[in-house]
Amino acid sequence: MDTAIMQQGPFAPAVWESDQRSQQWAASHSHADGLDGQYASLVAVEFDAHNEEASEPSSEMDTRDEEELERLEWEIREMETSIEGLDAHYKIVDKLGEGTFSSVYKAVDLQHAYYDNDHWALRQETAIGTRSKVYVALKRIYVTSSPSRIVNELEIMEELRDAEHVAYLITAFRARDQVVAVMPYSRHTDFRDFYRVMPLVDLKCYFRCLMSALRSVHEANVMHRDVKPANFLYDPRTGHGTLCDFGLAERFEPNEWRGKCHHTLPTLEHPHGKTEINRNVQSIHFSPGGMLAGGSASSRSKAAMGPPERVGYLKNDTRPGVRANRAGTRGFRAPEVLLKCQDQTPALDIWSAGIILVAFLSKRFPVFNANDDTEALLELATIFGKKRMEQCALLHNRTFQCNVPTIEGGKRINDFILQLNPGFMDPGSHPDPDRYRLDATRALDFARACLHLDCTRRWTAAALLEHPFLASDEGQEEAFHHHEAEMQDATTPRH
């Protein structure tokens, strides 16, 4: 390796980082609930914290054919020869994934013992000294990625190193045109294997990890921009999740607020008034209750601000299209991204997390599958209805026009979920049917809180962590009712 672009650092794999409380909680609830057999067998694999290999899937589960395995072998050899010195540090054992911008491999960290891992060991509840092998994930970023994009990803990961439930960067290096980021290996199960069978109690665990990752990311004024199941590595056996892939992440710069829309600069304020972030924000419109600031589109459009530009559109418009960051994955893009809002906020990640929840609750994945942004807006319109889409567009200084008659009405997100999964409220053989119904109602409300079309009304990650679906004690429930009352108050139009 000729150029180290970041220092080698101490680490311990995230798989050992599992929060013991969530782990015990997930395990006890999963089994107590008399679960779907498929899910029970997923979580039943004994997790031996001291012997990673014992809990690895056996080769029988490897469905790859000979040709694929040969290709993988070739790929590993090619990587080892094109990055001089790599094999002295890491022994690549498998391929974990492949995306648009990179390939990710599982490797044994051969030199783990030569580094001081105490810092990370402090964050663990499991001693790491007893491990015979320590696995890492090597993300080989394709040469077609621009240097600025690579630096952006690495810098953001470096900045978020101490954030819980966020993939952290151990080191990164460059060998000629090859850039490799090294992360702890996070053991996980493919979302498609559990989204239809995961019980509500374990779903809470999933969203606690995801929301706590997003809270840290947003507190650092970063928008992830690509929240989706493939980027949240969740292990149902331990109840531990890790948000990865900061390849599209963008800094939220309040000082560069363009002000072309009708929504105000948000505050990432904690509910109940404990301000804790946005070091750089100079002018903040505070809203009660931890919502991103602002009222409803209709109330705001009547406010003193007035539209910055004329409303409406030219029929034969020859002007170039509006440019805005629309990075993300289809089906997970928030309405403001689809509408090319130029002042996008961290609320866009909350929308994507809400879509993941809809997949769980409706047992449908992918939820949306449009080929382009216009089609994606139409998909939203079929749920939310024309009027609310028009209001949402207006908020971003856009006009929504559609002559499809079936989108006139619109429904609540809860009704949409229940339409797709009519049996959702039925506790079935759940040992505590009332508890199930309460959790199910709260899960629907959690989805509603994530999926406000109006980005200013979407709850923050910090607020969502205190939503009763995730909150577990009375105090938090009381706080929620207080929070709800404040929200009602804030969003009721004043005449």
Ligand X SMILES: Nc1ncnc2c1ncn2[C@@H]1O[C@H](COP(=O)(O)OP(=O)(O)OP(=O)(O)O)[C@@H](O)[C@H]1O
Residue 198 φ/ψ, nearest 5 degrees = -70, 130
Beta carbon nearer to ligand X, 213 or 465: 213
The least CB distance from residue 11 to ligand X, in Å, is 11
Beta carbon nearer to ligand X, 106 or 398: 106
Residue 175 touching ligand X (CB under 6 A): no
Of 16, 185, 400, 416, the one binding ligand X (CB under 6 A) is: 185
Of 96, 108, 327, 370, the one binding ligand X (CB under 6 A) is: 96
Of 29, 112, 131, 139, the one binding ligand X (CB under 6 A) is: 139
226 is known as an active-site residue: yes
**Vertex 155: Cα angle to 149 and 115 (nearest 5):** 125
Per rule CB under 6 A, count of chain residues that contact ligand X = 20
Beta carbon nearer to ligand X, 79 or 167: 167
Of 83, 104, 211, 381, the one binding ligand X (CB under 6 A) is: 104
- Cα separation, 480 vs 249, in Å, equals 31
Beta carbon nearer to ligand X, 327 or 438: 327
Beta carbon nearer to ligand X, 145 or 414: 145
The least CB distance from residue 246 to ligand X, in Å, is 8
284 close to 267: Cβ distance less than 8 angstroms: yes
Q: Pick the catalytic residue: 19, 202, 226, 235?
A: 226
Instruction: Indicate the residue type of 277.
Output: I
* Binding map of ligand X across residues 209-248, x = CB under 6 A, - = no contact: -----------------x---xx-x----------xx-x-
* Binding map of ligand X across residues 463-492, x = CB under 6 A, - = no contact: ------------------------------
Nearest to 414 by CA among 347, 369, 358, 495: 358
The least CB distance from residue 172 to ligand X, in Å, is 13
Structure tokens at 476: 């938090």
Residue 221 φ/ψ, nearest 5 degrees = 60, 45
Beta carbon nearer to ligand X, 168 or 400: 168
Of 81, 82, 100, 275, the one binding ligand X (CB under 6 A) is: 100
Would residue 85 be called left, alpha or beta, if left means φ above 0 and alpha means ψ between -120 and 50 degrees?
left
Tokens 């311990």 belong to residue: 12
Site for ligand X in 47-86 (CB under 6 A): none
Positions touching ligand X (CB under 6 A) are 96-97, 99-102, 104, 137, 139, 167, 183, 185-186, 226, 230-231, 233, 244-245, 247
What amino acid positions are annotated as catalytic residues?
Answer: 226
